[in-house]
Amino acid sequence: MRRWWIGVALGAVTLALAACSTRPAGIDGDLVDDWPVMAAPEVFTPAAQTCHTQPQDVGYLGGYAPVDCAQPHRAETLHVGRLAGAGGTAPPEAGSRAMRTAYGECDRAVRGVLGGDWRTARIGLTVVFPSPRAWIGGARWFRCDAHEMRGLDTPNPVRRTASLAGTLEGSSPLRHGCFEAETKGDDVTEMVAVKCSARHRAEFVGVWKAPATSYSAFLKDSARAHRACRSLIAKYAGVPDDGNLQYRVGTIYYHPSEPDWRSGDRGVQCFLWLHERTLTRSLKGGGTRALPIT
């Protein structure tokens, strides 16, 4: 779960054949010279650009049943990578070097296929490894699976009948926009997506890539995240990025879960937030008239 704040994851078989001391005419005695060499057994590897009726956390072969992306599905494999040289007796765990390598490759590959950063939209990313048994058998692949989410606070996968490929090129209904933010104290209780022409108090402004600190250090320094988000707000709205910005607008941010953080996800989603004003338009490029000092 994310936390959020506001401010003002055959064997080979060897056949030993003894040569006979006597043999019929025309038989050379070599019983295997005309047999083709047995190929080494191949380890199953899933295919990219395939869809699945349900998301998977582990890539069990028995549960691998891809469907055409035009058919109802809730997950899509956008990329398949390989961890060459990875060892161990089990698939990588969150925070391991191998997991960070796989997560980084998935992040880059998925952004490329989508046409934009998946964090800017209602899209989730899951790294799927082979089952422990398949890993012991030599499987070293990983799947980069994406899914459409219902919302920021409801990441449940949505059933789709089309591929996610290219969905973030240009404008997209999946992109984060304006929200009605329900708050209690310093906590956001709910963020409901609405059209920017409807009444709202929050708007998505971008993704801040946090430094590679420990997760606990990141949580303790919430002021740094708010400052970074205010800088994104200043660029987004077209206002000075100075000490007065905190008197113009508040901030809300969503950060990765601890397993995702430890695996390399540093993407913090930033939102502008107005406590005492209700908006009916986007503040992108609105300038100081749209965000006066209060």
Spatial CA neighbour of 47 closest among 81, 9, 95: 81
Q: Which candidate, 118, 102, 134, 96, places its Cα nearest to that of 166?
A: 118
Report strand pairing: 50-52 vs 4-7.
unpaired
Distance CA 86, CA 68 (A): 32
The whole-angstrom separation of Cα 253 and Cα 268 is: 7
pLDDT digits (tens, 9 = 90+) for 110-136: 999 999 999 999 999 999 999 999 999
CB 114 within 8 A of CB 165: yes
CA 130 – CA 262 distance, rounded (Å): 20
- pTM for this structure? 0.84
Distance in angstroms (rounded) separating the CA atoms of residues 140 and 81? 9
**Sequence-ordered list of residues with C-beta below 8 angstroms from that of 156, at least 6 positions apart, any chain:** 149, 150
Confidence of residue 204 (pLDDT cuts 50, 70, 90): very high
- 142 close to 292: Cβ distance less than 8 angstroms: no
pLDDT digits (tens, 9 = 90+) for 164-178: 999 999 889 999 999
As a whole number, the mean pLDDT across the chain is 88
Give the CA dihedral 226, 230, 233, 235, nearest 10 degrees.
-140
Looking at residue 186, its pLDDT comes to: 73
Q: Which two tokens stand for residue 187?
A: 């906590």
| Rg (alpha carbons) of the chain, rounded to whole number | 26
Strand duo 187-194 + 141-148: pairing: unpaired
pLDDT confidence band for 99 (50 / 70 / 90):
very high
Statement: residue 20 has pLDDT above 70: no
With a CB cutoff of 8 Å and minimum separation 6, the contacts of 226 are: 5, 7, 251, 253
pLDDT digits (tens, 9 = 90+) for 227-242: 999 999 999 999 999 9
Closest CA to 106 of 73, 64, 77, 74: 77
At 18, the pLDDT band (50, 70, 90 cuts) reads very low
Please give the pLDDT value at position 183. Answer: 79
Whether 168 contacts 114, CB under 8 Å? yes
Cα separation of 167 and 116, whole Å?
8
Distance CA 105, CA 256 (A): 17
Nearest Cα to Cα of residue 238 among 172, 170, 287: 287
Averaged pLDDT for residues 263-291: 95
- SS3 of 19, please? coil
